[in-house]
Amino acid sequence: MSQNYGNHRRFVPAYHFVAGPIFLLNLGWSIYGLVKNPSASTIIATLLAVALILLFLFARMFANTVQDRVIRLEERLRMAALLPTELQPRIPEFTRDQLVGLRFASDAELPALCRRVLDEKIANRDAIKKLVKDWRPDTLRA
């Protein structure tokens, strides 16, 4: 199946649909145990459950942040090679969200889309992705 705006988000079933619910269930069970039988061990169990939820959330956030940094670099290099001379000095104007949104634009449509994003000050990455006509898949997403 080809990638497009509707299916480009990545879900890892074992992470999103197994580990996440298990951590939430564990948190709920720990809170229940704490309420029913407050003790040092139920307090520690609840704190551990909270820490596991935080670890689950931060692991995803850290991976996405690193991915966005790599995308920023890749897109700036790609723009330096593909944009017309008059647009190249404007490459530093792109925000992280704009670069993340533009990464799906094909090489052929990138210059016109870059000009539009800058001229119209389109800042939302999803709005930019929706403007892409010729989708360039990214199959190495975190």
Q: Which of 113, 109, 102 has its CA nearest to residue 77?
A: 102
**Would 139 be classed as within a structural domain?**
no
Please indicate, yes or no, if residue 5 is contained in any of the structural domains: no
Residue 105, class by beta-carbon neighbours within 10 Å (0-12 exposed, 13-18 middle, 19+ buried)?
buried
Tell me, yes or no, whether 64 lies in a domain. Answer: yes
Q: Does residue 101 lie in a domain region? A: yes
- pTM (2 d.p.): 0.79
Length of the chain: 142
The pLDDT score that the predictor gives to residue 96 is 95
In a domain, 30, yes or no: yes
pLDDT for residue 51: 98
Of 58, 64, 52, the C-alpha closest to 25 is 52
Residues in CB range of 64: below 8 A, 6 or more apart:
142
Say how far apart CA 104 and CA 65 lie, in whole Å. 18
Whether 6 is covered by a domain: the verdict is no
Over residues 5-59, the pLDDT tens digits come to 766 777 788 999 999 999 999 999 999 999 999 999 999 999 999 999 999 999 9
Residue 4 domain-assigned?
no
Reading the block at residue 92, the tokens are: 């530093």
Among 31-35, 119-123, 135-139, where is mean pLDDT lowest? 135-139
pLDDT value for 5: 76
Structural domain of residue 54, as residue ranges? 11-131
Q: What is the DSSP letter of 9?
A: S
pLDDT score, position 1? 63
What pLDDT score was predicted for residue 103?
94
